[in-house]
Chain A
Amino acid sequence: MIDCPFCGAENIPGIDDCEECGQPLSHIHSGTHANNVERALIKDRVTALTPKQPCTVAPDATVGEVLHEMATNRIGCVMIVDRGKPVGIFSERDALLKLNTEAAALSDHPISEFMTANPETLQDSAKIAFAVQRMDLGGYRHLPIVSGGDQLQGIISVRAILNYLTDRMTMPS
């Protein structure tokens, strides 16, 4: 058994939150996983990746405006947001596959015509292992992070996960 440092109640090892007071306990046990990387992936939440504030635009923003934002800020995707809720995502890949050489001709069109609608999102309480699995399955390079059901909080990228993994691989056991 492990003692909750907040209220002193005894809890089963490995439990996420104290059964008595609800305080998080996952940080006080390390589990029995093979190595630093596996342990960290299963233990840490996506907030450990420090999700970045995404570049956001309204659904009626034009293709030209969005491409300009991406190029100016040197970013791989923008979120299309309606009243705080992510309704679409537009990425470099969308630009390549959906606009390509027609980009200039389509620059006055609303981005909602070319975005990927209803993108998969993750709650900010999700574990990094779950994020990796969803990115692998969906072939995503970016995943929006939400809280309270659907309010956009940030975005994580494959690059952030690579950095995170590299850090954990070089940590002493």
Chain B
Amino acid sequence: MSTQLPVLTAKDFESDQDVRWCPGCGDYSILAQMKKMLPSMGVPREKIVFISGIGCSSRFPYYMNTYGIHSIHGRAPALATGLKSVRPDLMVWVITGDGDGLSIGGNHLMHVIRRNLDINIILFNNRIYGLTKGQYSPTSPLGKVTKSTPMGAIDNPLHPLSIAIGCEASFVARSIDTHIKHLETTLHRAAEHRGTSFVEVYQNCNIFNDGAWEYTKDKQTKAENTIELEHGKPLIFGANRDNGIRLNGLEPEVVELGKGISEDDLLFHDEKAAEPSLAYLLSRMRHEDGFPEPIGVFRAIDAPRYDDELNKQVAAAKAKRGEGDLNALFNSGETWTVS
């Protein structure tokens, strides 16, 4: 007799914890879309783990009725690596922010991505340290005046997707907290991908950095300032869909359709391209340089996964040498008794 699995809803993923984010914080939307999306994966709650570091976004695991670890600053990827390696049956999510992921945990993030562990990383990018009340973060723009940069930031900002693609991430995507349907779809694509999924979400901190992404959200301007990536389709944008992106040698350029330029002249998006160069080029298209900023899936390729490879080695070692004995291993070398 087979057991009928319960059909979960978004409400089943709601925990009993009071949400402590500020009213109007973009984090609420990401939480809501995650709860909406997860039932579609058909994974039971006890098989899902959210691991975070430190920061506003890192309170996320408290608000999900799944397993969760609110861990050490920047070290969520390390905990996720350990957990996924020994429990490959779990769906593991890392929740991080621009400070936790790119500054304090930058090194860990780089290595978990290059290993292509089968986990999902969501980086909430609000371009500020919100929990500590408004210091500049690794993604704050040049010149940004904050508590810790009273005369304006002089650090070149990091661009999360360029970092992830530089580490040859097998899945890279971007969405926006207020584009709720796009965000839900993007989270679903990330969850489905086998390997490290890296998703940057433009997230508004309405207390310490309000309006940082307004150009991508404002109804009047968002069609001109963003471009939705669709696999196999030309890069077209604008309220009238009359602008596109064309390659001029190795440089992208904005062109107007018509006037001798057709869709066939434009750059066609290929998220399956083995070579990451085009995805990297897209990740460098920035509003301040006159480009629409791409949202959607930049890259989704199949690549060997760390947890698979590790467990193959463990299985091979067991087949050759039998089950291990920790006590025997411990006493096999130079041990001594202190009298």
Interface residue ranges, A against B (CB under 8 Å): 1, 10-16, 19, 26, 29, 31-32, 42-43, 122-123, 126-127, 129-130, 133, 137-138, 148-149
Which residues from chain A contact B19 at a C-beta distance below 8 Å? 12-14, 32
Number of interface residues of B (CB under 8 A): 29
Which residues from chain B contact A19 at a C-beta distance below 8 Å? 29, 32, 180
Q: Chain B interface mostly helix, strand, loop or mixed?
A: loop
Would A43 and B23 be within 8 Å (CB), given that A15-B32, A32-B18 are in contact? yes
B128 to chain A, nearest CB (A): 10
A36 to chain B, nearest CB (A): 14
Would A130 and B32 be within 8 Å (CB), given that A14-B23, A31-B22 are in contact? no
In the complex, A80→B11 CA distance in Å? 52
Nearest-neighbor residue (CB-CB) of A16 within chain B:
B24
In the complex, A145→B18 CA distance in Å? 33
In the complex, A47→B35 CA distance in Å? 33
In the complex, A11→B11 CA distance in Å? 10
A145 to chain B, nearest CB (A): 13
Nearest-neighbor residue (CB-CB) of A29 within chain B:
B23
A126 and B210 within 8 A (CB):
yes
A151 to chain B, nearest CB (A): 12
Tell me whether B208 is interfacial, beta carbon within 8 Å: yes
B220 and A14 within 8 A (CB):
no
- Name the residue among A1, A14, A126 with the largest chain B CB count within 10 angstroms: A14
Could you say which of B145-153, B252-260, B262-270, B275-283 contacts chain A? B145-153
In the complex, A116→B183 CA distance in Å? 41
Within B276-335, which residues are at the interface with A (CB < 8 Å)?
Answer: none
Which residues from chain A contact B146 at a C-beta distance below 8 Å? 137
Which residues from chain A contact B218 at a C-beta distance below 8 Å? 149
Contact with A along B1-42 (1 / 0, CB 8 A): 000000000010010001111111100110110010000000
Which residues from chain A contact B29 at a C-beta distance below 8 Å? 15, 19
A9 to chain B, nearest CB (A): 11
In the complex, A1→B25 CA distance in Å? 17
Nearest-neighbor residue (CB-CB) of A148 within chain B:
B220
A1 and B14 within 8 A (CB):
yes
Would A42 and B207 be within 8 Å (CB), given that A19-B180, A138-B145 are in contact? yes
A147 to chain B, nearest CB (A): 12
A133 and B32 within 8 A (CB):
no
In the complex, A118→B134 CA distance in Å? 23
B208 and A126 within 8 A (CB):
no
Which residues from chain A contact B24 at a C-beta distance below 8 Å? 16, 26, 127
Interface residue ranges, B against A (CB under 8 Å): 11, 14, 18-25, 28-29, 31-32, 35, 134, 145-147, 150, 180, 206-208, 210-211, 214, 218, 220
Which residues from chain B contact A123 at a C-beta distance below 8 Å? 210-211, 214
B117 to chain A, nearest CB (A): 29
For the complex with contacts A1-B11, A15-B32, A130-B207, 5 further pairs of A-B residues with Cβ separation under 8 Å are A12-B31, A15-B28, A31-B23, A42-B23, A137-B146
Which residues from chain B contact A149 at a C-beta distance below 8 Å? 218, 220
18 A/B residue pairs, CB under 8 Å, sorted by A: A10-B11, A11-B32, A12-B19, A12-B28, A12-B32, A12-B35, A13-B19, A16-B24, A19-B29, A19-B180, A29-B23, A32-B19, A32-B20, A42-B23, A127-B24, A133-B134, A133-B207, A149-B220
In the complex, A19→B35 CA distance in Å? 13
A123 to chain B, nearest CB (A): 6
B324 to chain A, nearest CB (A): 46
Would A16 and B28 be within 8 Å (CB), given that A43-B23, A149-B220 are in contact? yes
A140 to chain B, nearest CB (A): 11
Which residues from chain B contact A16 at a C-beta distance below 8 Å? 23-24, 28
- Name the residue among A1, A13, A15, A148 with the largest chain B CB count within 10 angstroms: A15
A130 and B23 within 8 A (CB):
no
Which residues from chain B contact A14 at a C-beta distance below 8 Å? 19, 21, 23, 25, 28
Which residues from chain A contact B206 at a C-beta distance below 8 Å? 126-127, 130
In the complex, A43→B150 CA distance in Å? 26
Which residues from chain B contact A29 at a C-beta distance below 8 Å? 23
Partner of A127, one of B18, B134, B210: B210
Would A129 and B32 be within 8 Å (CB), given that A16-B23, A42-B23, A137-B150 are in contact? no
A23 to chain B, nearest CB (A): 14
In the complex, A148→B220 CA distance in Å? 9
In the complex, A19→B220 CA distance in Å? 20
Nearest-neighbor residue (CB-CB) of B23 within chain A:
A26
Q: Which 9 A-B pairs have the closest CB atoms?
A: A16-B24, A12-B32, A130-B210, A26-B23, A129-B207, A15-B28, A42-B22, A32-B18, A14-B19
Which residues from chain B contact A10 at a C-beta distance below 8 Å? 11
